């Protein structure tokens, strides 16, 4: 039972309760447990084994008993009881954007709709036309939402969503009268996936801007069109759609709106509670005391009025940020990164030469890089046999002479096999930098997976454990791994753990990176680039690190090359 599966079970209980019409406080208690499980950095099974389920935030005695029941039996009697009253398939309806539990309950009770297929049939037959709360506009949006579900997983990877948002923002900035355009929502917070895109702008003529927005390149459908708000379904490329919402707000209240629409929901609730205790009101228009506006123009004003430092967007997840008296000045930022220690070339499955990757790194202001092509067992990736690896090491060192302002480390990404590394120690000893990773045989046995990771960490030649859980966002689940044990071993041996900045991976994820840091492990942020342009994905790794509250000294590749070399030699056997 994974943490995600347990969280999903509690979220479903909350949804079923809300559809049934239970009291909000009961519903929200299960949602709080679900969120705790989603954010849990350690394995739930380990917490249970220590008898500490009831000590988790938001988990009381009753919830702990249900968690224990779920872990022991794979079921929760309460969920089974609820599904005898509310068909479990009704939960499918909640996948439709904008269709919440209350509307799902109405569809079920009034029209007998219990699945997406039945909802689609109900729309096509016209049976929703006279149902209260389901006007023509609402029905059209539901129809489009079903179509979207059928053609999309519903949540977009951060990297893809980022590129779409930048393109839309650039188009908006070219509209006459637009003074400012900014991202908001989960994208601004650096979440690994986003459901839709939120953009805010300041403009002279809101209606004209919204009108132009609804006609930008790639618009598939206009969902809303008003004087200050527009919403579109955008299809930037075949088969891939995303909803984009634009709000035009006055300059005087831009800060309040930007803070409000950035979220997260939990962070905003805590802020509003803070305002209410002072007798104030906080919303997207400003922080007010009666009719008097206390703050609204900038986010900094809002936070300062509430007695807080400005909280960076990546930290706004209600994970302790409102207890800060100041934000660490050395919270990681992209300009602190001095090099990239995991990338591939045409020697294995990359698309650029050693020299091309080196030149691209120089253009990005880097001081060093590690060329880490695949080892021999990754045959599908053109992994290097020992003789080819030796030649490749020589090639890297030859090319390095042409780049006096950049240090090139000759490395390899070495597969972790079931009982050994893919190269013998005498070959690993000839490399400047060794990345170890699991690419195949990722089973569901947490002990076996953890044993393989520890095997690599215990090698004096391995410098970083790459993409530790092996996940591919929206494609492949993370393999079960005892991050607590792995990070403690990494701290003990002087091995770095990677935040792989590829938008397909972002692995370690934020909560795991924070746990690893807390356990004393060093983090290394790498792009795993297979092409020159992929070096720019470093920004996504940094966003993930910021969400983990990482600071400059927590991250290996913020350090100068001398420190990198010392990190390697510290654990290698002396000749």
What number of H helices and E strands is found in the chain? 22, 17
Give the per-residue pLDDT at 54. 93
**399 CB-near residues (< 8 Å, 6+ apart):** 354, 355, 358, 408
Give the per-residue pLDDT at 476. 80
Does the structure show a pLDDT above 90 at 11?
yes
Does the structure show a pLDDT above 90 at 151?
no
Q: pLDDT, tens digit, for every residue of 520-560?
A: 999 999 999 999 999 999 999 999 999 999 999 999 999 99
Is there a common fold for 91-151 and 156-248? no
Does the structure show a pLDDT above 80 at 110?
yes
Kindly report which listed range (114-123, 324-333, 426-435, 549-558) carries the lowest average pLDDT score. 114-123
Q: pLDDT, tens digit, for every residue of 333-366?
A: 999 999 999 999 999 999 899 999 999 999 999 9
Judge residue 172's burial from the number of C-beta atoms within 10 Å of its C-beta, 0-12 exposed, 13-18 middle, 19 or more buried: buried
Residues 512/477, Cβ–Cβ less than 8 Å: no
Give the per-residue pLDDT at 299. 98
**159 CB-near residues (< 8 Å, 6+ apart):** 502, 503, 504, 537, 540
Does the structure show a pLDDT above 80 at 152?
no
Higher-pLDDT residue of 100 and 303 is 303
How far is the C-alpha of 248 from the C-alpha of 151, rounded, in Å? 30
Candidates 3.90.380.10, 1.20.1050.90, 1.10.150.20, 1.10.10.10; CATH matching 91-151: 1.10.150.20
| pTM, rounded to two decimals | 0.86
CATH superfamily name and code, 156-248: Beta Polymerase, domain 2 (3.30.460.10)
Higher-pLDDT residue of 147 and 294 is 294
Q: Vertex 460, ends 459 and 463: CA angle to 5°?
A: 90
How far is the C-alpha of 319 from the C-alpha of 510, rounded, in Å? 12
Q: pLDDT, tens digit, for every residue of 157-191?
A: 999 999 999 999 999 999 999 999 999 999 999 99
Give the per-residue pLDDT at 136. 85
Does the structure show a pLDDT above 70 at 324?
yes
Binned at pLDDT 50, 70 and 90, residue 232 comes out as: very high
Which among 334, 336, 306, 333 has a CA at the least distance from the CA of 321? 306
How far is the C-alpha of 528 from the C-alpha of 237, rounded, in Å? 25
Give the per-residue pLDDT at 575. 62
Does the structure show a pLDDT above 80 at 385?
yes
Instruction: Give the start-end residues of each E strand in 104-228.
Output: 156-157, 178-183, 193-194, 196-203, 219-225
Binned at pLDDT 50, 70 and 90, residue 464 comes out as: very high
Residue count (the chain): 575
Beta bridge partner(s), residue 180: 202
The CATH code for residues 255-323 is: 3.30.210.10
Does the structure show a pLDDT above 80 at 85?
yes
How far is the C-alpha of 411 from the C-alpha of 428, rounded, in Å? 9
What average pLDDT does range 252-276 have in this prediction?
96
CATH superfamily name and code, 334-569: Metal-dependent hydrolases (3.20.20.140)
Give the per-residue pLDDT at 322. 96
Mean pLDDT of the chain: 94
Kindly report which listed range (141-155, 513-527, 560-574) carries the lowest average pLDDT score. 141-155
Binned at pLDDT 50, 70 and 90, residue 95 comes out as: confident
Q: Where are the domains of the chain?
A: 1-86, 91-151, 156-248, 255-323, 334-569
How far is the C-alpha of 321 from the C-alpha of 310, rounded, in Å? 10
Give the per-residue pLDDT at 240. 83
Candidates 1.10.150.110, 3.40.50.150, 2.60.120.10, 3.90.330.10; CATH matching 1-86: 1.10.150.110
Kindly report which listed range (310-314, 378-382, 489-493) carries the lowest average pLDDT score. 378-382
Both tokens of 136, joined, read 């023509």
Helix (H) or strand (E) segment spanning residue 113: none
Does the structure show a pLDDT above 70 at 320?
yes
Furthest C-alpha separation in the chain: 83
Residues 476/470, Cβ–Cβ less than 8 Å: yes
């Amino acid at each position: 039972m994974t943490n995600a599966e347990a969280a999903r079970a509690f979220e479903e209980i909350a949804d079923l309760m809300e559809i049934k019409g239970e009291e909000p406080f009961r519903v929200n208690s299960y949602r709080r447990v679900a969120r705790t499980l989603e954010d849990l950095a350690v394995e739930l099974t380990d917490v249970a084994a220590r008898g500490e389920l009831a000590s988790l935030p938001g988990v009381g005695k009753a919830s702990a008993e249900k968690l224990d029941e779920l872990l022991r039996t794979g079921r929760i009697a309460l969920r089974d009881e609820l599904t005898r009253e509310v068909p479990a398939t009704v939960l499918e309806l909640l996948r439709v954007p904008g269709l919440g539990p209350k509307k799902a309950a109405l569809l079920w009770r009034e029209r007998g709709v219990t699945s997406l297929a039945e909802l689609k049939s109900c729309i096509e037959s016209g049976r929703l036309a006279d149902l209260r709360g389901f006007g023509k506009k609402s029905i059209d949006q539901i129809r489009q939402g079903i179509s979207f579900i059928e053609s999309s997983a519903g949540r977009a990877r951060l990297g893809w969503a980022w590129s779409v948002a930048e393109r839309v923002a650039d188009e908006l900035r070219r509209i006459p009268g637009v003074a400012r355009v900014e991202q908001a929502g989960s994208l601004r917070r650096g979440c690994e996936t986003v459901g839709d895109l939120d953009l805010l702008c300041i403009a002279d003529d809101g209606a004209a801007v919204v009108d132009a927005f609804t006609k930008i390149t790639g618009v598939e459908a206009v969902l809303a069109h008003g004087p200050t708000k527009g919403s579109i379904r955008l299809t930037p490329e075949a088969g891939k759609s995303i909803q984009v919402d634009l709000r035009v707000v006055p300059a005087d209240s831009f800060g309040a709106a930007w803070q409000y629409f950035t979220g997260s929901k939990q962070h905003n609730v805590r802020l509003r509670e803070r305002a209410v205790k002072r007798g104030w009101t906080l919303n997207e228009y400003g922080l007010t005391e009666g009719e008097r506006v206390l703050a609204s123009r900038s986010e900094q004003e809002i936070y300062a009025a509430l007695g807080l430092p400005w909280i960076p967007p990546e930290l706004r997840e209600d994970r302790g940020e409102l207890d800060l008296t100041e934000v660490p000045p050395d919270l990681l930022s992209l300009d602190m990164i001095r090099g990239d220690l995991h990338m591939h070339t045409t020697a294995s499955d990359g698309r650029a030469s050693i020299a091309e990757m080196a030149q691209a790194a120089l253009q990005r202001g880097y001081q060093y890089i590690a060329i880490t092509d695949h080892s021999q067992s990754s045959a599908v990736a053109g992994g290097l046999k020992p003789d080819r690896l030796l030649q490749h090491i020589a090639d890297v060192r030859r090319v390095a002479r042409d780049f006096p302002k950049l240090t090139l480390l000759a490395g390899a990404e070495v597969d972790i096999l079931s009982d050994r590394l893919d190269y013998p120690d005498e070959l690993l000893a000839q490399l400047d930098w060794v990345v170890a990773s699991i690419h195949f045989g990722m089973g569901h046995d947490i002990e076996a997976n953890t044993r393989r990771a520890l095997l690599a960490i215990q090698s004096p030649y391995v410098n970083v454990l790459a993409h530790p859980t092996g996940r591919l966002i929206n494609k492949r689940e993370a393999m079960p791994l005892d991050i607590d044990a792995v990070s403690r071993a990494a701290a003990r041996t002087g091995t770095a753990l990677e935040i792989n900045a590829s938008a397909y991976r972002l692995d370690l994820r934020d909560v795991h990176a924070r746990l690893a840091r807390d356990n004393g492990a060093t983090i290394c942020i790498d792009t795993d680039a297979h092409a020159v342009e992929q070096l720019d994905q470093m920004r996504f790794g940094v966003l993930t690190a910021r969400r983990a509250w990482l600071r400059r000294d927590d991250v290996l590749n913020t350090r100068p090359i001398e420190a990198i070399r010392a990190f390697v030699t510290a654990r290698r056997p002396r000749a």
